[in-house]
Amino acid sequence: MDNSTERSPPLDSHLPTADLSETSEKDAANGFQPGSDPEAPPSNQVGSDQIDTMMEKKGTKPDPADFPDGGFEAWLVVAGGFFATFCSFGWINCIGVFQNYYSQHQLKEYSSSTIAWIPSTESFMLFFPGYIAGRMTDELGPRIPLLLGSFLHVFGLMMTSISKEYYQFFLAQAVCSGLGCSFLFYPIIAACGSWFRVHRALAFGIMVSGSSIGGVVLPIMVQRLIPQIGFGWAMRAVAFMFLGLLVIVNLTVKSRLPPAHRPFDFMAMVKPFSETPFLLLALAGFFTYVGGFLPFNFLIVQGEDSGMSADLASYLIPIMNAASTFGRILPAHAGDLFGVFNVMIVFSAFGGIMTLALWLPAAANAPIIVYAIMYGFASGCTLSIIPAMVARLGHISQLGARSGALYALASIGVLVGSPIGGAIQNTQHGAYSGLIIFAGVALLIGTFFTVLSRTAQVGFNIKAKV
């Protein structure tokens, strides 16, 4: 060993092993004293990173580079994460139902753009506080943020059930419930990433497919319960169901690695953006999320405006989310085989092209339904594979914080995307062509920045598995 401070290894490397054959002369030359531990660095250089490395070598602490890539505990975390994304991201995936419902009932006196601030802010609150949730997970483990998220999400939905005014819906559903979703989403990403390396994208895909299943079940559940038991009890029924599922989440999700217990450093959030591939990926996420949620928010109202019956239109979001279930798992497995950046580029471009080529001219039931299926499949990949891309660019012990930093920027796209789309639709006096073009172009710009991020890593090597 030399006198330099050991650095955490990259994801695809292994920690160096101790060379027990070193002679005492070599030890002395490197600063070791006779009789000292040959694996320990000089006393004047021992820090937390060196101590962690020593403990890992001695077998008293899990080795960050030794991923089990399976086993009962690992897949139990995936199962718990599935239920967490069902309750959090799955709920966000059905916000288009509320855009349509509020415009016809409690908030019908407000414009489409004004109402859109509720679902867009809810999506924003899922992503923007991600650095705090991710950093808390890295430092304290997933237990505390999961408990906090469970309380905020359930409490927010309970308060939504008794809301009457616009500001009440905004604070309860968009802010409180959305913040709870954030503290449910990032801990499971960080925890799952500590168990898998070779099959990481597949594990993420299976886990995040819970959001697609939620996006199928929850819109139908809400739209069927409201006429039968009223809006208030429909929201309370969802909240009670989430409470039961989140108990399972809190009992099953854990990290393989112990909490880092490092002091808080705000610059740790900014530092990843100094890395060119990470910065370009963050910009890709921003533009992808500007346009990526517009179909989820406006496809129902656009379908009804095109002559589709309200009953059939109510199934467009479930259809889209059902297709995205396959889009989260199959492309994720392809990402493990061919590279997550390569797969992201293909499906992001496909989603943008389908939006411009199919949704834009769609004026009948058949093309709108076909678009819901096609875009749902593409979005299943583009909205779920980003954590696996972040994991490729940094050390696994920082996955929660780095994912949160990227999503903090991407969340601004989520926040402004739907209101901008609603404003464009208002300026066209109810027409949707401008909104659709805006969504498609944003997705293609996101694809372009993903290509740049890939190029920053491997150049123009088309065959590289990235």
From residue 171, alpha-carbon distances to 160, 163, 176, 234 in Å are 9, 10, 6, 19
- The per-residue pLDDT for 201 is 74
Q: What is the pTM of this model?
A: 0.71
- The per-residue pLDDT for 21 is 40
What is d(CA 113, CA 191) in angstroms, rounded to the nearest whole number?
Answer: 37
What is d(CA 223, CA 234) in angstroms, rounded to the nearest whole number?
Answer: 9
What is d(CA 316, CA 342) in angstroms, rounded to the nearest whole number?
Answer: 29
Multiple choice CATH, 72-458, 1.20.1250.20, 1.10.3720.10, 2.20.25.240, 3.40.50.920: 1.20.1250.20
Q: Look at the block and give the residue holding tokens 């696996």.
A: 388
CA torsion sign for 7, 13, 18, 23 is negative
Which tokens hold the place of 201?
């994208």
Quick: pLDDT tens for 309-321: 988 988 898 899 8
Quick: pLDDT tens for 346-390: 999 999 999 999 999 998 999 999 999 999 999 888 877 887 788
Which of the 8 DSSP states describes residue 197?
S
What is d(CA 194, CA 74) in angstroms, rounded to the nearest whole number?
Answer: 9
Sorted by where each begins, the domain ranges of the chain are 72-458
Average pLDDT over residues 295-300: 88
- The per-residue pLDDT for 28 is 40
Quick: pLDDT tens for 411-440: 898 888 888 998 898 898 888 999 999 999
Closest among 413, 417, 415 to 170, alpha carbons compared: 415
Sequence-separated (6 or more) residues with CB below 8 Å from residue 294: 417, 418, 421, 435, 436, 438, 439
| Higher per-residue confidence, 64 vs 11 | 64
| Higher per-residue confidence, 148 vs 332 | 148
- The per-residue pLDDT for 12 is 40
Query: What is the pLDDT confidence band of residue 54, given thresholds at 50, 70 and 90?
Result: very low
Query: In the 3-class helix/strand/coil scheme, how is 369-435 assigned residue by residue?
Result: HHHHHHHHHHHHHHCCCHHHHHHHCCCHHHHHHHHHHHHHHHHHHHHHHHHHHHHHHHHCCCCCHHH
Query: What is the pLDDT confidence band of residue 42, given thresholds at 50, 70 and 90?
Result: very low
Q: What percent of the chain has pLDDT over 70?
A: 83
* Minimum mean pLDDT range among 180-194, 228-242, 274-288: 180-194
Quick: pLDDT tens for 144-199: 999 999 999 999 999 999 999 999 999 999 999 999 999 998 888 888 877 877 77
- Please answer whether residues 449 and 283 qualify as being in contact, where contact means their C-beta atoms are separated by less than 8 angstroms: yes
- The per-residue pLDDT for 446 is 95
The yes-or-no verdict on residue 15 having pLDDT over 70 is no
What is d(CA 369, CA 288) in angstroms, rounded to the nearest whole number?
Answer: 22
Mean pLDDT for all residues in the chain: 81
| Higher per-residue confidence, 205 vs 448 | 448
Helix, strand, coil percentages, rounded to 5, for the chain: 75, 0, 25
- The per-residue pLDDT for 99 is 79
| Higher per-residue confidence, 286 vs 390 | 286
Using a 10 angstrom Cβ sphere, with 0-12 exposed, 13-18 middle and 19 or more buried, the burial of residue 320 is: buried
Report the SS3 class of residue 300: helix
What is d(CA 290, CA 409) in angstroms, rounded to the nearest whole number?
Answer: 11
Tell me the one-letter amino acid at 22. E
Which tokens hold the place of 93?
């995936």
Which tokens hold the place of 86?
């069902």
Which tokens hold the place of 393?
């660019």
| Higher per-residue confidence, 144 vs 51 | 144
Query: What is the pLDDT confidence band of residue 7, given thresholds at 50, 70 and 90?
Result: very low
| Higher per-residue confidence, 154 vs 293 | 154
Using a 10 angstrom Cβ sphere, with 0-12 exposed, 13-18 middle and 19 or more buried, the burial of residue 22 is: middle
Quick: pLDDT tens for 65-100: 566 767 788 889 899 999 999 999 889 878 778 877
| Higher per-residue confidence, 163 vs 259 | 163
Buried (b) or exposed (e) across 85-124, using 16+ Cβ within 10 A? bbbbbbbbbbbbbbbbbbbeebbeeeebbbbbbbbbbbbb
- Helix 143-160 to helix 130-140 angle (10° resolution) is 140
